[in-house]
């Protein structure tokens, strides 16, 4: 039997990625998350059709509203979903591209998604951002969808191998021991594997900072180069934490 293949927008290429959701937080660490959602209320909708070589196509631009539920408050709240749906009513195949927003009192989650529609069952991938948490969310999701009934039984991060969700903080972020920080714009006087010295443009005293495994790379920088150097107290030592070469 012929197995039809649907090619949607470039965003649909994300569907080949294993369904795992990741959000990058300002804090460190990882947290597996999940959410359920439904948006059955039609806020507005416009549909037109055309006839192709393989059947009748239905094009829908619509907005739906509902509710998202999650143990993680960043993923829970009233939800609004805007879609562009292309569906072959003859073969029961199509795709949906869209935008979503989950909002509550102090934070909002918003982003985009793409999904394949097989006889009303969506299998897709989404990405987004959690405001006030500085988090980026990526994940696989499933849901039921019809033009007039909106989204039902939506699931993000169910924990299965093909549909998981994860919040990930930046690992091993160096933190300053104190508020002592140094920013110098000037010329590199000396550079070794263990330290860098920069003479400020204003002619004041040369500033030296240690180079440790926590420091950024100094590749491409040499004595005589003009740089912007940032240092902070790490483990009791004024340590290089930022270095930019300037023209």
Per the structure, the complete domain to which residue 52 belongs is given by: 11-169
Reading the block at residue 68, the tokens are: 């998202």
**Does pLDDT of 130 surpass 60?**
yes
Q: What is the pLDDT of residues 150-200, one digit of tens each?
A: 999 999 987 555 565 544 445 455 555 555 688 999 999 999 999 999 999
Please tell me whether residues 151 and 239 are part of one structural domain.
Answer: no
Cα separation, 137 vs 76, whole angstroms: 14
In a domain, 4, yes or no: no
pTM above 0.75? no
- The residue among 184, 193, 154, 163 whose CA lies nearest residue 70 is 154
Please tell me whether residues 82 and 195 are part of one structural domain.
Answer: no
Q: What is the pLDDT of residues 189-218, one digit of tens each?
A: 999 999 999 999 989 999 999 999 888 899
In a domain, 232, yes or no: yes
Q: What is the pLDDT of residues 28-70, one digit of tens each?
A: 556 677 899 999 999 999 999 998 888 899 999 999 999 999 9
Please tell me whether residues 28 and 136 are part of one structural domain.
Answer: yes
């Amino acid at each position: 039997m012929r197995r039809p293949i649907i090619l949607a927008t470039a965003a649909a290429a994300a569907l080949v990625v294993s369904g795992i959701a990741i959000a990058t937080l300002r804090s460190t660490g990882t947290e597996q998350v999940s959410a359920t959602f439904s948006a059955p209320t039609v806020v507005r909708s416009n549909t037109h059709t055309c006839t192709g070589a393989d059947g009748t196509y239905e094009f829908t631009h619509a907005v739906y509203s509902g509710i998202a539920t999650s143990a993680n408050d960043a993923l829970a709240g009233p939800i609004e979903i805007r879609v562009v749906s292309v569906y072959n009513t003859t073969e029961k195949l199509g795709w949906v591209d869209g935008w979503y927003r989950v909002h509550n009192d102090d934070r909002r989650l918003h982003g985009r998604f793409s999904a394949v529609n097989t006889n009303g069952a969506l299998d897709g991938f989404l990405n987004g951002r959690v405001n006030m948490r500085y988090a980026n969310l990526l994940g696989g999701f499933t849901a039921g969808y019809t033009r007039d009934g909106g989204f039902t039984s939506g699931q993000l991060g169910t924990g299965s191998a093909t549909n998981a969700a994860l919040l990930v903080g930046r690992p091993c972020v160096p933190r300053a021991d104190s508020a002592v920080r140094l920013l110098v714009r000037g010329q590199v006087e000396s550079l070794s594997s263990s330290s860098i010295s920069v003479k400020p443009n204003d002619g004041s005293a040369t500033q030296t900072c240690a180079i440790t495994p926590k420091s950024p790379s100094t590749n491409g920088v040499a004595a005589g180069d003009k740089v912007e150097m940032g240092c902070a107290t790490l483990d009791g030592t004024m340590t290089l934490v930022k270095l930019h070469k300037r023209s």
